[in-house]
Amino acid sequence: MTLPYLEPLTLKEPAGLTIPEPPRRGEEGGEPCFPCAPDARDHAIWADDLWSLHNPGQTGLAGSVWLTSRAHFDSFADMPEEYAATLGAVAGKVERAVSSLGDVGRVHVYRWGEGGAHFHLWFVPRPLGRLDMAGPFLPVWEDAQPLVAKDEIEAVGQKIAAAMDA
């Protein structure tokens, strides 16, 4: 496991506790929920009756996409049955679509839910051969890469969408 920084890194003291934690997007008192916005589906690159797939606003790794539910729920713990029953198949479809871009070593899947309270999964391609990016620091590497141009994000998103329908 490596980081995109030279060593030695310095361990810092943990921050103080923030309790109660501030509301996330989509929680009472928080910012509006993006996937629940009336025009959210207009921004999807692919959708079916339950799920929609979206390009990132910005990324350092072309091919990163996020999958979200049409219904508002937070996580696996409160996932309605029809979503639980279809998540594995749709996640497999996204993984195959991202892999089909080529030069993808592995597709990482992340669920954090720290910013928004509406269920979403990130699919992030680890470039083929970039073993220094393998493991849990891929998002740190992603942040350290030059930003992919918006045109390229959209072009790659179209390829992923086409592969979803193939």
**Stretch near Zn ion under the rule CB under 5 A, chosen from 8-16, 94-102, 116-124, 130-138:** 116-124
Instruction: Answer whether 64's CB lies under 8 Å from 56's CB.
Output: yes
Residue 79 makes contact with Zn ion by CB under 5 A: no
- Token look-up 């899947």 returns 109
137: which 2 tokens? 């620091």
3-state secondary structure of 69: strand
- Contact residue for Zn ion among 24, 33, 122, 127 (CB under 5 A): 33
Q: How far is the CB of 33 from Zn ion (least distance, A)?
A: 3
Query: Which residue, 30 or 105, has its beta carbon nearer to Zn ion?
Result: 30
CA distance 22 to 129: 40
Residue 72 makes contact with Zn ion by CB under 5 A: yes
- Contact residue for Zn ion among 118, 141, 148, 164 (CB under 5 A): 118
Measured between alpha carbons, how far is residue 86 from residues 51, 63, 91, 107, 113 in Å? 9, 23, 9, 19, 20
35-54 positions binding Zn ion, by CB under 5 A? 35-36
Q: Which residues bind to Zn ion, rule: CB under 5 A? A: 26, 33, 35-36, 72, 118
